[in-house]
Structure 1
């Protein structure tokens, strides 16, 4: 009975030092960066294989479908088998998928590579959340804001860093480098995990399998609302990310590299906002503010045309950075608070599943509104649909915020 107490009291045993934060963040970068890096490559890939935008949209949907299935499954495996070993297995799979994508001679094999990458990258975030929860329980406290903020920033910054990185890689070596870049990133993740992440230890389980866990989570109404809100948010976010960047190249006539650079304000502003939001004392108005920023950004899209100035495009990019920071931190904090401790990996995986369910919807929406080419008219149609969705999202979050009344909601458990 005294052994666990001695272990918990060992110096640094349950601490959240910079090495731990760095290690869990490296792997967590891979899924969102792979989800967005392909945006810049869709046009050159279509040219290479002689297909239209409707065919290359499978490169987007394939990763999201694999992720939507893989995240909760691997999250549950992390809860039951140990998060570190699942984390490492995922990184090895990512490297294999990157090599396959670099070599793939057909569009079909390229889609298969995206599936493999999607499954591999599905391990990191739920495993990271499981490790954070276990360390918090051993220390007798809650996860520091710095840790939760780092994971939120890893997701949202890498999501918008993907297109600029994709544009740079395309300019340097062609679109195939977008797949090859997974290899050094996966190696860095493996090395940091082996050096800095704690070995898996026995963890008490309630004996419930995946089906029982899903039933328990399905009865958690606040958590289900968080998942739905997250899905709608990311349908609009990825609709902007993919729809806008394709329009910048085909409608505005910019190069892939320049289109990628125009997303840098999203990344920079999002990083600042998410860092500040993770340290906020209350979250009551964080999600309504994020929904309002999203609505403003979506409503701007129908007003754009081929003559839009670079300054206006930068301002629009920055506005989407504001909503990214607020919404990602707010929804992650809600999930962490609402999920049962012994199912946090699966719950975190389902949060990402809801994210990519929204992304799948956005890919289908772009295909319907754009067709073969991203024109001004197609962007306007896309903008109208996204504006309507974000207006409904804002209304829902305002109602929820009012119902909470004066109850204080912690964004993350700061010590």
Structure 2
């Protein structure tokens, strides 16, 4: 097979694997009512099927990236696809809801392997044979966008025609196709850089992984349930874990969290900017449907159709943004993305006085483009700045910012819409979004590249 064609097919396979994480998340969200009825549980209980997946992904993305760094990205990507295929097949046979959630955790770990492993493979191939990385990064990121776009539509269709179990079974053939293509098309890894046995376990720095997970999960759970009495101690747990993590990271030779990298002027603004832009985007992604249905009176089916441009525009903008990033440079594009998102947020204020479907489509389309800019721009920034030996864990932590941003967005929405789904709530939301965009623009301005080609 022609090497160029082989590489393009390999990138497509990695994009297919990357699609599984957002697809699994957004697709099952549509089936919560069916799950609740089948298992005879409450609304609060059934949402755990979504919560455990998010919390798993927050920790699993950098952990799988670390595994890719120390074991080899092809091995980790293939293993992740095997886990998704097996667990998606047996999950509908779970004897109870708790068992189903446990299998959902396993799917979260498996699907989290795809993105960091893919960028590690791209980095390796680019370094060895001089392949241009940006088109490949864009196609892999396109898998993330496709998962977000297809999830609600596919989930709604499946639940209406068949059964929620089909939502799990759909992931299995996708994972198997990605697995077969990865094994056939991607060059095998060499011997694990970290060795085997105890040396491999030591290289993973599992105590730091546990502290990292405890810190992130404690804070996110507290923020999601701040009024509950049992949630307050989680703040202390999170802060204590963070301090222990910093202490350990300074003492370990190759820590899971490399403080010198994470706090550098080329990486810290990347994390901050991407996290804030993700919070802003998910405020729209989760908040706009509520406003359209609760304040403007659109039906559920209409809302689903009107929201398509928000994520769907990424499918069109993706290759254009990739070319602009290569020609113009990362910093300029990230600043433009933040300013564009702020302008689009102000445009949403028109929906306080008008409710024509065409206007909703325009607003969603306008707000979708800057998020495409951010996802590609910050992925490229991290790709350019992270050392080759740490590209997996670094890009995994970038995805942690995405999941954490989605969680924080739900908290923002609960506050701004606490008095009801009216125009005043939307206006408050726009203020928060614009402020977030200003922070993101500041992060982009503060970003300092160590690679002249990246600026």
TM over 0.5: yes
Counterpart in 2 of 1:91? 81
- Once the two structures are overlaid, the 10-residue window that deviates more, 337-346 or 245-254, is 245-254
Counterpart in 1 of 2:393? 346
Note the C-alpha offset of 1:327: 0.9
1:228, 1:332 → 2: CA distance? 13
Structure 2 residue 335 is the aligned partner of structure 1 residue 288: yes
Preserved CA contact (<8 Å) 2:283 2:409? yes
Note the C-alpha offset of 1:312: 2.5
1:224, 1:91 → 2: CA distance? 31
- Alpha carbons of 1:26 and 1:204: their partners in 2 closer, same or farther (altered >3 Å)? same
Counterpart in 1 of 2:229? none
SS at match of 1:231: helix
1:246, 1:224 → 2: CA distance? 33
Of the candidates 152, 163, 169, which is equivalent to residue 141 of structure 2? 152
- Alpha carbons of 1:188 and 1:323: their partners in 2 closer, same or farther (altered >3 Å)? same
Counting only pairs closer than 5 Å after superposition, residues 1-400 of structure 1 correspond to structure 2 as 12=3, 17-42=7-32, 45=35, 49=40, 51-52=42-43, 54-104=44-94, 107-139=97-129, 141=130, 143-202=132-191, 210=205, 211=249, 212-213=254-255, 214-215=257-258, 216-245=260-289, 252=297, 254-255=299-300, 258-280=302-324, 281-282=327-328, 283-299=330-346, 304=351, 308-366=355-413, 376-377=421-422, 381=425, 383=426, 386-400=429-443
Normalising by structure 1, we get a TM-score of: 0.81
Note the C-alpha offset of 1:362: 2.4
- Let me know the Cα RMSD of the aligned residues: 3.5
Note the C-alpha offset of 1:132: 0.8
1:279, 1:220 → 2: CA distance? 27
SS at match of 2:42: coil
SS at match of 1:136: helix
1:193, 1:34 → 2: CA distance? 20
- Once the two structures are overlaid, the 10-residue window that deviates more, 229-238 or 37-46, is 37-46
Note the C-alpha offset of 1:45: 4.5
- Once the two structures are overlaid, the 10-residue window that deviates more, 57-66 or 325-334, is 57-66
SS at match of 2:187: coil
- Once the two structures are overlaid, the 10-residue window that deviates more, 191-200 or 306-315, is 306-315
Normalising by structure 2, we get a TM-score of: 0.75
Preserved CA contact (<8 Å) 1:304 1:380? no
- Alpha carbons of 1:243 and 1:399: their partners in 2 closer, same or farther (altered >3 Å)? closer
- Alpha carbons of 1:354 and 1:249: their partners in 2 closer, same or farther (altered >3 Å)? same
1:180, 1:302 → 2: CA distance? 41
Preserved CA contact (<8 Å) 1:278 1:411? no
1:404, 1:182 → 2: CA distance? 38
2:292, 2:34 → 1: CA distance? 14
Could you report, residue by residue, the CA deviation over 1:73-132 in whole angstroms, capped at 9, with x for unpaired residues? 111111111111111111122223423543456554443343222111110111111111
Note the C-alpha offset of 1:353: 0.8
Unaligned segments of structure 1, at least 5 residues: 1-10
1:165, 1:390 → 2: CA distance? 29
1:26, 1:311 → 2: CA distance? 32
Preserved CA contact (<8 Å) 1:86 1:123? yes
- Once the two structures are overlaid, the 10-residue window that deviates more, 83-92 or 16-25, is 16-25
Note the C-alpha offset of 1:202: 3.5
2:453, 2:316 → 1: CA distance? 19
Note the C-alpha offset of 1:271: 1.7
1:248, 1:181 → 2: CA distance? 30
1:125, 1:406 → 2: CA distance? 23
Preserved CA contact (<8 Å) 2:36 2:42? yes
1:368, 1:47 → 2: CA distance? 29
2:443, 2:287 → 1: CA distance? 30
Could you report, residue by residue, the CA deviation over 1:270-290 in whole angstroms, capped at 9, with x for unpaired residues? 122221111111223322222
Note the C-alpha offset of 1:239: 2.9
SS at match of 1:284: helix
Preserved CA contact (<8 Å) 1:167 1:259? no
1:26, 1:316 → 2: CA distance? 29
- Alpha carbons of 1:106 and 1:316: their partners in 2 closer, same or farther (altered >3 Å)? farther
Note the C-alpha offset of 1:167: 2.1
